[in-house]
Amino acid sequence: MKHISLLLFLLSLASSVLAQEVVIDTNYYAPPPVVRKKVLTADPDQNPDRRRSVNRQKTDYSPAYQLKETQTWYVSLEGGFRTDGSLLNNSFDGLFSSSSTTKSAWSALLGYTYRNSWTVETGYTYAPIHLNITIPNGSRPLIYNYQNSGYGIPLRIKRRIGSASHATNGTGFWLSAGAWLVPNGKVNTDDFRLVGYTYHNNRPRTADTIRLDNTTTTKSISGVAELGIDYSVRLSSSIEFSTYVRKYWGLGEAIRSDITYTVNSIVQPQSSITANGTGWGFGLSLRYIYGRQQEVKKPQNGHP
């Protein structure tokens, strides 16, 4: 009996020791619980001030690249008026005279512009050179008008000397200079021969027979030099409008009239009238830009 009691005591002691080794208090090693706080913030899309600040930050760091015209090609139509006159060296005491003439003129041109500063244009122009002879005849004077073929080939260079509000295009004042090649062709000659009488106040009254003989000729080729100023306005990306005033100087004779004056069959000193195209011109121009080359202009702030 004693042995059985001793055996039961040892078994109970061993089981208590095993129980102490298996049971572990995990509360000491457990991490603290995670507490998630619910915080509500304002929607940035609903905040205009924040949107403006974000946009401002984006624009501050974005380069403001611009396109700048470097070369343009255009066609142009001009229309206006031209005034030119003749040079008379002897009127025979007012027996005849020569006056200036104002007629319409037009041109069709091709042009090239470099960096909105220089322009070269050429083409075809119709601006006749005129010669006028007027002979008094009471209330109905005799008027003889002559003109060349009217065709010319101009070559013109322009330089911009000022700008308006749109400095990046052709708007502004342009100084122009150029020259024409003028094939005069054949003039529609209307040579005249006039016979008249002059009376003296002495008694008995005597009369002198006077005669005027005219011959008009043209030179095969002459030239015209010009100097002018234009003002251009860019109406759209492809259309320009301008006005111009130009001064012309003739280079060589274009038309010449030689008049022989005789009194009682005695030849007097001859007279000549020449026309070379010297005068003024003014009008309007409309250009269509059909070709354009541009470059990207770097920002001034130096950002890449």
Bridge partner list, 226: 178, 248
Residue 21 is predicted with a pLDDT of 45
pLDDT in tens, 115-169: 899 999 999 999 999 999 998 877 788 888 999 999 999 999 999 997 655 556 8
Instruction: Give CB contacts under 8 A, 24+ apart, made by 36-45.
Output: none
Q: What is the pTM of this model?
A: 0.73
Q: How far is CA 234 from CA 72, 111, 157, 166, 173, in A?
A: 13, 15, 19, 8, 12
Residue 269 is predicted with a pLDDT of 83
Neighbouring residues of 224: CB distance < 8 A, sequence distance ≥ 6: 152, 179, 180, 182, 248, 249, 250, 251, 276, 277
Question: For residues 126 and 119, what is the distance between their CA atoms, to the nearest angstrom?
Answer: 21
Residue 18 is predicted with a pLDDT of 45
Q: Output DSSP code: residue 301.
A: T
pLDDT in tens, 234-244: 999 899 999 99
Domains of the chain, each with CATH number or no CATH? 69-294 (2.40.160.20)
Bridge partner list, 221: 183
Asked if the model's pLDDT at residue 295 lies above 90, the reply is no
pLDDT in tens, 35-78: 555 555 555 555 555 555 545 554 444 456 677 788 999 999 99
Q: Looking at residues 88-98, what average pLDDT do you find? A: 86
If pLDDT is split at 50, 70 and 90, which confidence band does 264 have?
A: confident
Q: SS3 for 29?
A: coil
Question: For residues 134 and 94, what is the distance between their CA atoms, to the nearest angstrom?
Answer: 10
Asked if the model's pLDDT at residue 200 lies above 70, the reply is no
Q: How far is CA 87 from CA 91, 190, 226, 233, 288, in A?
A: 11, 19, 19, 38, 39
Q: Looking at residues 96-100, what average pLDDT do you find? A: 89
For residue 224, which amino acid is it? V
Bridge partner list, 250: 224
CB contact at 8 A, 225 and 251: yes
Residue 195 is predicted with a pLDDT of 80
% of the chain at pLDDT higher than 90: 45
- What does the mean pLDDT of the chain come to? 81
Q: SS3 for 61?
A: helix
Please give the structure tokens belonging to residue 134: 């007027």
Task: Extract the runs of DSSP E, i.e. beta strands, from 184-220.
Answer: 193-199, 207-218
- Greatest C-alpha distance within the chain: 206
Residue 304 is predicted with a pLDDT of 45
CB contact at 8 A, 104 and 80: yes
Residue 153 is predicted with a pLDDT of 97
If pLDDT is split at 50, 70 and 90, which confidence band does 289 have?
A: very high
